[in-house]
Structure 1
Amino acid sequence: MNTLVVEESADRVVVTLSRQPQRNAIDAEMIGELHQVCAVIEQEPKILILTGMGEHFAGGADINQLRARTRDDALRGINRTLFDRIAALPLPTVAAVRGYALGGGAELSYACDIRIASSTALFGNPEPGLGIMAAAGASYRLPQLVGVSIAKQVLLGGGTLDAEAALRSGLVMSIVDDPLAAANALADRIAKQAPLALKLTKKIVDAPGAHPWADDIAQAVLFETEDKQRRMSAFLEKKN
């Protein structure tokens, strides 16, 4: 791949955005290559870790390409479709963020289940200053992540969230010196859990509204699995 570095192991895929001279700005080629990664993970579900090469996660979408986009391009939802696909991946996704996560880069991080940041991280959506809006998921993901008031401060007021503000708002899980190492440590913990339990939990949490019946159905499925019997038996044997 030309815009990504992809490292795959038994339980995870680590993807590094690799357009360092452009602060890893997201262009059409990167969108296409990220779709390829999603297709692989959909066929063989694994944990996904996203990070950026060098000092930044992603400084936004490629402005040269955005300037050339038309109404028809917007209606195709080019970036949004990809970020929705990442959000819907079956197993947990983690963004390891250094430096800028702005515009489309911020929206890519919002699409992940969990974000871990360095002290240099900066999240923001300056799109209205360029005559457009943050239309790749920020309008519905950011309010869910940080609340409507803070989301409006970012999306309407041109505000940014540094690492400390992102931590206080719940946007990031932790602030660490090495976000990628912390993301891999988190993936180690996630990988020890039951895959089907993770998949169903993610589906339930991401489903809109209250859905106690869906919880019951998912739990009923899990109660009948061999994995549940094995794990609970092992727990009881260890306890005794």
Structure 2
Amino acid sequence: MITGATDGIGKAIAIELAAYGFNLILHGRNTEKLELVQHEINAMYPDCRITTICRDGGQEPISDISSIKGLPVTVLVNNVGVGPIGSLATFPVSEIGRTVNLNILFPTYLTRSLLALENQLSLIINISSYAGLFPPPFLAVYAGTKAYNNAFSKALSVELENATVISMLVGSVHTGSNTKPVSFMRPDAGVFAKRVIRMAGAGRKSVYPYWPHAVQTYVLSLLPAGFIDRVMRKAMRREL
């Protein structure tokens, strides 16, 4: 099961898992997009059986999983999330609620629901971000949710004895919402998805699947905190 599977990293991971022979449960909030992705994957992998779940986790974080209750779900990829930029003082309350619902409550409730079914989950991948470790200004809510994702993964990895739980720390990736050009430091979603799947058995609780992102954050960790703060503030103001 992959959440946020109609675009970007989620869609690319779905395609990669289909290539490995998995059947898929695709989650999204747009029925037409879900159908398009389903047809696209089936055109490449006709034997892949696909089920879809349409739900806006930002508005309704508790998922109804009755439609997949009988399916043997072995892999869960909690990918869906949003990262709106803005000064907290002027951030709409509704936007804060939506971000927390989608980035924290939705994956938490979904994971709990699948585990409560005593399903066959053997791998849980949570897509986090380096923003949870190096929180940028004007992304306070998003960074806070990604810090939660990382802590949630680490705690659950110790709690579950028969399943692997891994937090994938993401840097900049070219997607529909991040349209900056593809570069060495900004891979496209397809390249990134391949790295995510290859790192699934790495034996670590959290990992940077794309190694240039790991190098980038390591360099940041060596720099003076005040310097990093000034650089990030300037960069984020440009984004605004």
TM-score for both structures, normalised by structure 1: 0.30
- The structure in which a higher percent of residues are helix is 1
TM-score for both structures, normalised by structure 2: 0.30
Q: Relative contact order (alpha carbons < 8 A, sep ≥ 6): 1 or 2 greater?
A: 2
